[in-house]
Homo-oligomer: A and B are copies of this chain.
Amino acid sequence: MQALTESGAGTEARPVPRSPRRLHESWILDHLRRRGRASRAELVAATGLSRATVSALTGELLAQGKVVVTEPATATGPGRTPQALALNPAAGLVLGLDFGHSRVGVVAADAAHAIIGSATRPYPRSTPWETRCAIAVRLARTVLAGGAPRLAAVGIGIAGSISGRPAVVEAIRDAFTDAFGVPVRTDNNARLAGLAESVWGAARGVPDALYVRLSSGVGGTVILDGRVHRGRGGAAGEFGHVCIDPTGPLCRCSNRGCLECYVGVEAVLAEAGGTTLAELGAALDRGDRDAAAVVAKAGQRIGLVLAGAGNVLDVPHVVLGGDLTVLGEHLVRPVRQTLARHLHANPDATVGLAELGDLDGALGGVALVLHDPSIPFTGPLAPRHLTGTA
């Protein structure tokens, strides 16, 4: 008989608390790590603890310097604005990186989710990984400026499969471990973009959502209960390789008729007879019927795959991201219509555009490490974090 691990949330281990106070404190800190800042009322709602317990515990956390008082995330209208709490920014900085096919993006943030700086740098598609890493490390140092000694961890997104390319992943990890001497985490960059949208963007405040990134490649993220669903082999979110016609065109994955073959940017441009997305967008805006038909068909195909996933998961919100979304409502409308028709489990599901732009994957790298319970962000940096910095 196989022993089962019944612990709650996907790949994250359930911590064994030493006392109820420690356990409840960990729920508060976990929420602040995930959401950046929260009022005491939000902490009550999020943890299920009583108002008195939250008040007592946050008082202790403030006294210990683990938590600070900060501005609320959004204005709440006239009247007294409730205080927001956040992790102490002195707990350390986080670097998020996104290695795309032809550029790297970098974001530096503190433990309170405040963005310290960001930058992107292009490279030719043929650039070897060693060079890409060297470019990225230099760029990261610029973004960190004088903050490098306070760096606590690095989260890195990579285009394409993680599990299928262990050598690339190891080379990237080694480069950043050597450069900064802090923990390094990696994940697929489309998945990280979806994580970032769920923390800061179009899926903020929605516990369950599907995110699809439509660029040259098509990938995505499944958010369940506010967390990334990674799947047993870590490969969940492969929307691009859902087959829509087994007799369709050959895909780079060696199967036929995958969604990516039809709605990847190059496929859409080829069908529309255009050369750039800007050109296609202009054609749509001046009412070109052929262009509209091509984009409507792409939207229907995306909608059908999302409706399939939605029927299985019953998810109330879908976010579209990636280069193709510059087509805006021309693309969103047919997706929305197809979902309304075919999402039997939840016909009221909403569709929105991603909000975070080019730095979505790098922001997801920041969230990746902030959400990782194995990396501590409570209190000023321990001396071991200061060793090995450049």
Contact = CB atoms under 8 A, between A and B. Distances in A.
A22 to B, nearest CB: 8
A31 B19 contact: no
A56 interface: no
Interface stretch (A4-12, A91-99, A124-132, A175-183): A4-12
Contact of A314 (B17, B232, B243): B232
B17 A23 contact: yes
A8 B23 CA distance: 14
Interface in A222-246: 222, 224-226, 229-239, 241-243, 246
Interface in A1-60: 1-10, 13-14, 16-20, 23-24, 27, 30-31, 34-35, 41-42, 45-49
Given A342-B243, A344-B241, A316 B233 contact: yes
| Among A220, A237, A314, residue most surrounded by chain B Cβ atoms (within 10 Å) | A314
Question: What number of copies of this chain does the assembly contain?
Answer: 2
Nearest to A84: B1
Contacts of A305: 308
Given A4-B205, A46-B6, A48-B16, A345 B308 contact: no
A304 interface: yes
A269 interface: no
Contact of A226 (B4, B27, B346): B4
Given A231-B345, A308-B308, A346-B232, A3 B237 contact: no
Nearest to A17: B20
A332 interface: no
Given A308-B308, A344-B255, A232 B20 contact: no
22 contacts: A1-B74, A3-B46, A4-B35, A4-B42, A4-B205, A6-B47, A6-B225, A13-B48, A17-B20, A20-B20, A23-B23, A208-B231, A220-B312, A222-B313, A232-B315, A233-B314, A235-B314, A243-B342, A246-B304, A246-B341, A258-B344, A309-B312
Please name the 5 residue pairs, one residue from A and one from B, whose CB atoms are nearest each other, closest first: A231-B314, A8-B8, A2-B205, A3-B45, A241-B344
Given A237-B312, A238-B311, 4 more contacts: A1-B74, A5-B46, A5-B207, A10-B225
